[in-house]
Structure formats: structure tokens, C-alpha cells
Structure 1
Amino acid sequence: MKNFKAYMFVLSVAVASSVFSSCKKDSYTPQTDLLYDVEVDGATATFSVKTEGVTDLKWDFGDGTSSTDAKPTHTYPGKGKYVPTLTASVNGKAAEASTVLRIAKTSPVKINDNSLTDWAAVTKDVVTLGAKKGIFRNVKYDYDGNYVYMYAEMTGKKADGVIFDFYMDTDNNPSTGLSTGTFTEGGYDVLLEGQLLTAGVDIFYHNSTNQADFSFAQQSIADAYQVGTVQEEGGVVKFEMRIARGKLKGLTGSGLRIALQATKSDWSVTLGSAPDDGGPSFFLDMSE
């Protein structure tokens, strides 16, 4: 599996001494050019000077920290707008260059690191499990600009071939999708269903104008989801997955209602729900 970079871009900044430059080009005549590139991966930015003849350089990263390295790498503390500034001498003349960096919501979850320890840092979006939790012991979610991540712990074995149903109100709009059925407070546009840990899941879109009609059409969407690390020990299975926000209709919005249900491999018994079926689904606020 390849590492995915949430986003990456390169900014070239050339400004006059004491002139501020944003991501857009301003109409001015440079007096002393100072050029540098910024490469951003998640919350980590790598800076490199492109102008020749630069000495006495100092980076102010815009979050209270600084560096005098020629090519520093800096990890920002969280999402937000930062204004990194480089001051230096260019051929003996003082110069300053700034730009605006917008760091988006990032996730500590790495889907391809053969570990689940990164989920310990996810403490906000944890599903409250009720009387109908069944086999589920822990379910939680996280997200970034590109993916929704899910972690689950359940009793049993991977080889059990448990069937999972993910009910998803992807556009956070109760007036679209299935409005009756297993979980309330949502119009469920997307259903992921199948033996996730042994055979994968199929993807279905609600395809009826009647919101009371349990009618879903199967979709063929490449790379819409990916199972990460799966661990099994002492009668407990722990696993993670991610869903590509850009692949499923409506999932690029600011909120998602999602509920998970497990069923025995022969469809004979419902094994558990997170949260409880018959009640509201879990709301994942993605407005950051």
C-alpha cells in the first residue's frame, strides 16, 4: 500500500524588503528578491531557499517558533492559518519574504503502518455503546480532508466472516436517502455491506424518491475504501478502515451520520450495533 499525502503543494514566494506576499500575486516591483519554496504534507512544512547569495537567514514559522537552518522542516501544532516569514541578507541587502499557509484538519491515523497504536490519540469521536452493542467493544472515527477513518474492537474471530452494514447519511441531509429503518435521525444515502474482514463490502446508493423505500442500487467505485491493520488475540478482533471522501457521493460535506451493524455470516442473527439500532446514528462533525 502506498502512503497517501493529504495534500501537497509548492509555493514560490518572491517579495521586496518588508513587503508581505500572500498566495496570490500582488502587483509590486521587487527591490531585493528573496525566493523560497514551501512543500506541505499534512501539518508538516518543508522550507527551502531558492535565491542565491543568501546569508544570515532566519525563519519565523508564524506559530512562535523559528529556525536558522537553510532547509528546515516544521510541523505545525494544528489546523489554522499561519504566516511563515523569512528574513535574510541577499547580496548584503536586507530582505524579507512571507506567505500564508492554511493547515487543514489532519489525522494521526496511518492506515498502512501495520499498527493500531495511533488510534490512542483519537479521543473525540467515540461511539457510545448501549445495550444492543453485542459483539462491539469499541468503535470510533476520525477524518481529514481526504478520508473518514474507523476503528473497531469486537469479540470473535476474523474467520467468522461477520457481515457488516455501514449506514451513511453522506450529505448530512435527512431529506435525502432512506429515512426509515434501522437507525433514525438521518436520510441514509449510502450503504456499505459485506464481510469486510474476509471478502470486502459492496457499495450501494439509495435510488428511490420514496424515503420509506429500502431500495439501494449497487455501485462500482474503485478504491472507495481500504482495510488497514487487523489484529486478533484472546478472542478479540481489532481493525481499522478508511473511506475515501472524494469517492462517495456527498461525503465531501461538513458532516456525516454513520451507524454500524454486525450480522452473523449466514444472516441468521444480528450480532451488535454501534450505536444501538432503533436510535439515532452517530454524527461525525467534519466542519473543521
Structure 2
Amino acid sequence: MKNLKNNIFRLLIMITAVTILYSCKKDNTPKLTDLLYDLTVDGNQVAFKTVTTGISSYRWDFGDGGSSTDANPVHEYAGKGKYVTTLYATINGSVTEASTVIRIAKTSPVKLDDNTLSDWDKVTTNILTAGPEGGIFRSAKFDYDGNFIYVYIEMNSKRANGDIFDFYIDSDNSAGTGLLSAYADGGFDILLEGQLLSSGVDIFYHNGAQNSFSFAQQSISEAYNVGTVTETAGVLRFEMRIARGKLKGLTGTGMRIGIMATKSDWSVTLGSIPDAGASAFLLDMSE
């Protein structure tokens, strides 16, 4: 009986020792660290910065077919959309992963501070060619993003001429509000008028009856900016942008616009794009 008790006691000691040994081995197993990274979105470009330390290898899947093995890559997405980016990282000899959803909004290739108009070559839609009443106008292009509407104009003129511009804007794309004249298929809520390339333009909001040319001048700072201006062989080219959040109605899904040019002394109408009386140009901003 004494031997049996001793054997049972030894067995219990062995079981306890094995349990303690197993527990020690389990506690010493390296645990994976939370995988964290930051990102900064600038237009279509996203910069990734890894926060977690101790990573021995990286593999990024940007969700659009692109990939990288850099620690802190910069990736440019092709355009608007929702992308799921995943980082596969080796930490303490094991691979862990972390994903995030990136939403790229509508962006524009147009930059006003780059001293060139070559970025407009990337704008291949929303192009307007002058008609029979175009006069000095040759063509115009339009683009937009969440903050601005961009305008490019090409015309037979000189900056020194001081041409007066009238930008008729149907900001809410509705014939139920604004002036019912100048251009068809719109009620024009906003008028930008003046010698844009020399002294700038004044800003007016339509008021009163829709068949009345009645506009009230507004005092709104930073509502527009002129970018690069070039002159080559009698052809004047320039770009501008209009702040959508500064002028009423421009944060919607579409607007119509018509542009007229007048001689600096108001004596002669120099042209119109599109033709006066034709449909104003519709810029669809529903993306």
C-alpha cells in the first residue's frame, strides 16, 4: 500500500511538472503585434506610413492591381473609386495583415500654380468648340473636383486688349430660377463680369423677375483665381478656377455656363461661346 501511494505521488509530481513546463513554453511563444499604419490622401495619390515597429518584410496590395514591398510607399490611383488596401507584414517570424478602405473622390489634373497649360491636355471631356457666333473665341474646356470648377479658354486676342468677359452661370442647373435670356436651357443665377485678365471680375446674383436683367453685386473674396496665361501667334490662352463653396448653388451635381466677350470700351460684342441663344454648356458634376 505504501508503494502504491508513493507511485501515485510520483505520478502527480510528473503531471504537475509537465503542466508547468508546457505552460512555460506556451507563455514564451512570441505574440503578434497589432499591425498599424497611417495614410495621407492627396487627390489620387496616397502616402502610407507604417506605425508598427519590428517588421522584417512588407508586402502592400493597393486594391487596384498595384503592389509594393517598401516600408512607406506612395501610390497613385487611376481615378475615383473605393479601394481596399492590405499590408502583409512579417513580425517575429509570422505574417500578419491589416486592411483599410480608401475612397478616392473626383479629382482634376489641372493645377493653377504650375506655370503651364499642359495639364489641360489630360482633360479629354467637357470640351466646347466655338460656333458661327464664336467671334474671337476658339474653344473652351471645363473640369471640376469637390472644391473648384476649372475653365480653360482659347481665343484670338491679346491680354493687353483688356477684353471684358461675362460668365453667365446657371449654378443649380434649373430654368426655374435666374435670368431667362442670353442662353437657352437655363436660368442664370450668377454673373461674373469684368476685365478678367487685368482688373478681375465683379460678382452678381440675379434677383427679381426671371425676364428682368437684374443682378445685385456681391462682395465675396477668393471666389475665383486666374492661373497661367499665354500668348502665341495672336492666340490667347488662359485658365481660371471658380470656388464651388463660395458661390451659391455650385455645390450641386451640375451647372450650365455661357461666356461672352466685349471690347474694352463696351462698343462691340466680340464673341460668344456657345453661340448666344444656343443651349448653355452643361457641366455634369454628378460623379
Question: TM-score surpassing 0.5?
Answer: yes
Cα displacement (A) at 1:92: 3.4
Cα displacement (A) at 1:125: 0.5
From the two aligned structures, give the one with the greater helix fraction. 2
Paired with 1:71 and 1:236, the residues of 2 have a C-alpha distance of: 46
1:227 matched to which residue of 2?
A: 226
8 A Cα contact 1:57 1:88, kept in partner? yes
Query: 1:105-144 to 2 correspondence within 5 Å?
Result: 105-144=106-145
Paired with 2:56 and 2:82, the residues of 1 have a C-alpha distance of: 28
1:192 matched to which residue of 2?
A: 192
In the alignment, does 2:243 pair up with 1:282? no
AA in 2 matched with 1:189: D
2:164 matched to which residue of 1?
A: 163
2:254 matched to which residue of 1?
A: 255
2:269 matched to which residue of 1?
A: 270
Cα displacement (A) at 1:128: 3.1
8 A Cα contact 2:129 2:138, kept in partner? no
In the alignment, does 2:51 pair up with 1:50? yes
Cα displacement (A) at 1:122: 1.1
Paired residue secondary structure (2:129): coil
Paired residue secondary structure (1:118): helix
Could you report, residue by residue, the CA deviation over 1:128-179 in whole angstroms, capped at 9, with x for unpaired residues? 3210000011111111111111111111211111000000011112211112
AA in 1 matched with 2:36: L
AA in 1 matched with 2:172: D
Cα displacement (A) at 1:90: 2.8
Paired residue secondary structure (1:204): strand
Cα displacement (A) at 1:32: 4.2
Could you report, residue by residue, the CA deviation over 1:177-224 in whole angstroms, capped at 9, with x for unpaired residues? 112x2111011111000000111000001122x211211111111110
More deviation, 113-122/84-93: 84-93
Paired residue secondary structure (2:127): coil
8 A Cα contact 1:132 1:276, kept in partner? yes
Please, which runs of 5 or more residues in structure 2 have no aligned partner? 1-31
Please, which runs of 5 or more residues in structure 1 have no aligned partner? 1-30
Paired with 2:277 and 2:43, the residues of 1 have a C-alpha distance of: 38
Paired with 1:217 and 1:101, the residues of 2 have a C-alpha distance of: 43
Could you report, residue by residue, the CA deviation over 1:52-93 in whole angstroms, capped at 9, with x for unpaired residues? 112222100000110010010000011111001111123334
8 A Cα contact 1:32 1:93, kept in partner? no
The higher radius of gyration belongs to: 2
In the alignment, does 2:212 pair up with 1:213? yes
8 A Cα contact 2:172 2:255, kept in partner? yes
Paired with 2:115 and 2:78, the residues of 1 have a C-alpha distance of: 25
Paired with 1:106 and 1:182, the residues of 2 have a C-alpha distance of: 31
Paired residue secondary structure (1:127): strand
Paired with 2:97 and 2:82, the residues of 1 have a C-alpha distance of: 19
- The root-mean-square deviation of aligned C-alpha atoms, in Å, is 1.3
Paired with 2:97 and 2:235, the residues of 1 have a C-alpha distance of: 57
1:63 matched to which residue of 2?
A: 64
1:239 matched to which residue of 2?
A: 238
Identity %: 64
2:77 matched to which residue of 1?
A: 76
Paired with 1:248 and 1:92, the residues of 2 have a C-alpha distance of: 57
8 A Cα contact 2:88 2:96, kept in partner? yes
